Structure 1
Amino acid sequence: MASILDSVDQRTQLVGENRLEILLFRLAGRQLFAINVFKVQEVLHLPRLNRMPHRHPCVCGVINLRGQTLPVIDLSKAIGMRPLQPEANTIIVAEYNRSVQAFLVSSVERIYNLNWEEVQPPPGGSGRSHYLTSITRVDDQLVEVIDVEKVLAEIVPYNARVSSERLADPILARAAGREVLLVDDSSVALAQLTETLSQLNLKIHTASNGQMGLRKLRQWADEGHDLNEKLLMVFTDAEMPEMDGYRLTAEIRNDPRMKDLYVVLHTSLSGSFNEAMVRKVGCDNFLSKFQPERLIDVIRDRLQRDA
């Protein structure tokens, strides 16, 4: 089973080309779901599961994997579907926001390569739509891409507050009234960013994918705004439907009206892979989700550059 990811280290060539690869799997039913391959470390049969008292209802227990203790999350139950049956014994080990966890699934299908333009935002409504970042089609089958950040935030609630001592920094006082643009397809990620940055009295604009973010920037430029004066910086996620953060950054750099904007890649992907891609596409900084104190440091560094 692990062979399904044998070539994952070679897949970085897709980044910056508005392409991605997704790992297809099933939960409690025939519906196909997916997550980005870059977040997956391995796929394997469920090792011995240790039950834990007072665990979250969606956490089955913990496993020991090569000396590391990992929680095992019933992904079906976590997105509002019926829990997986006891015979479900496949896990996807993935890293999000600098933490590693295992997701229990019914079965893993295969890896599929596609263009972000083929990926659309999920339909509005209730139910598990709230747990999706996007949808696409593979071989005429609907595929739902899960908002894992939302799942994890409900299991381990985030804290976006920054200490009053940090906020008292006189350099940060210069942020009051300045404007930033946040581009992310995850409502949870946007809420996290907004809650932290609002503590600096910043004026915040949001967009739910790169195409919407670029449209907003072009509109401001068409209206005659000097974007370097208007915006302190742009935060963009990497993975988004229609246009990813790498392509958004490339489009910004190719437009004389906005080419000097300070762009921060803010993503649940992490590691040297992203640092290399940041340099490749021309971002100014890279920050793994979600680190409120580090987020404030990025703002402070940017304000110092303006001094």
Structure 2
Amino acid sequence: MKSDILLESGTGEVEVLEFIVNNKNYAINVIKVKEVVDIDNLTKLPNCHPSIEGVILCRNEIITLIDLGYILDGTRKQSSKFKTIICEFNKIKVAFKIDDVVAIHRIKWEQIQKPDEISTNNLVIGNIILNNKIILLLDFEKIVTDINPSTGISEDRIVNVAYKNRDNVKIVLADDSALIRRLLKDTLTKAGFKNLIFFDDGKQTLEYLKGLSQEKGENFIEDVQILITDIEMPQMDGHTLIRQVKEDPTLRQLPCIIFSSLITDNLKHKGISVGANGQLSKPEIGQLVDMVDDFMEKSKI
């Protein structure tokens, strides 16, 4: 099954693929899915992470296979043929072993509820109530980064960020991951930024920006000069956030950068269509600082 990304960007909707692992229902954003295939050519690897079952050959590409059942429950099923989700994010391809696929659902981002503080699990980024059951939306980037930190944002990427005085630049950032927010704060602070305001979803971010606009009019730019946003967030995604900013007669002058693991050559058109001024994949933390500097230089702030 190949995934066809049909949704117009910034509509507040998302397509999720519901699948089953160990009799539990989970979901992944379809935008991350290249295809779902049956595989029978596993090659085991020596001395690798216990969740890595080996490598598979799919359309003449060698792809690492992660056993999702082992990640989620610590269980492992041995079989000669199995179903896999082939994904692409953070500029890598990776396969996840699953039990079965249920369906693709089109829902609104606002239907995805944040986990509460009591039941928070760092692998679950949202709860979806559908057909009288709870489907857990998983953080696949974190799964891969936990196995190999070099595939995502990590502390060692912060080392080479050059410092200069950037305390006149005021940035609003939206990302639902507490880890990413912390690493962004550490990185940008080390680079010399001091005026940083963080939100964990697009809806809160838009409410803050709209409030500034109503209070100060076009002078809102005194309080925020750049918006940096993730794409995949409960309540409101980054594409919808940027579309609404750019459609606002006052806020539309605000430069908007998408900083997401979902930035690929095939998907950049989605950010362009909603008016994003720049797009970067999440591992490129140093380039994010350079891009902010470029916008500030152009605006003469």
TM-score (norm 1): 0.87
Please state if 1:108 is matched with 2:101: yes
Match of 1:182 in 2: 173
- Alignment check: 8 A CA contact 1:149 1:188 kept: no
Match of 1:85 in 2: 77
Partner secondary structure for residue 116 of structure 2 = coil
User: Unaligned stretches of 5+ in structure 2?
Assistant: none
Partner letter of residue 9 of structure 2? V
- Alignment check: 8 A CA contact 1:178 1:230 kept: no
Q: Could you tell me which of 220, 243, 246 is aligned with 1:250?
A: 243
Moved more, 217-226 or 146-155: 217-226
Superposition deviation, residue 43 in structure 1: 0.8
Superposition deviation, residue 174 in structure 1: 4.7
Q: Could you tell me which of 184, 191, 197 is aligned with 1:193?
A: 184
Please state if 1:131 is matched with 2:127: no
Partner secondary structure for residue 302 of structure 1 = helix
Partner letter of residue 167 of structure 2? A
Residue correspondence of structure 1 range 196-235 to structure 2 within 5 A: 196-202=187-193, 203-224=195-216, 226-235=219-228
Moved more, 213-222 or 245-254: 213-222
Match of 2:21 in 1: 27
- Alignment check: 8 A CA contact 2:10 2:242 kept: no
- Alignment check: 8 A CA contact 2:18 2:101 kept: yes
Moved more, 59-68 or 207-216: 59-68
Partner secondary structure for residue 271 of structure 1 = coil
Match of 2:162 in 1: 167
Match of 1:16 in 2: 10
Partner letter of residue 167 of structure 1? A
Match of 1:152 in 2: 144
Moved more, 225-234 or 147-156: 225-234
TM-score (norm 2): 0.89
Q: Distance in 2 between matches of 1:300 and 1:137?
A: 42
Moved more, 284-293 or 152-161: 152-161
Q: Distance in 2 between matches of 1:47 and 1:252?
A: 48
Identity %: 26
Partner letter of residue 207 of structure 1? F
Q: Distance in 2 between matches of 1:162 and 1:99?
A: 21
Moved more, 250-259 or 101-110: 250-259
Moved more, 285-294 or 265-274: 265-274
User: Unaligned stretches of 5+ in structure 1?
Assistant: none
Count residues in correspondence: 293
Superposition deviation, residue 40 in structure 1: 0.5
Residue correspondence of structure 1 range 256-295 to structure 2 within 5 A: 256-295=249-288
- Alignment check: 8 A CA contact 1:74 1:83 kept: no
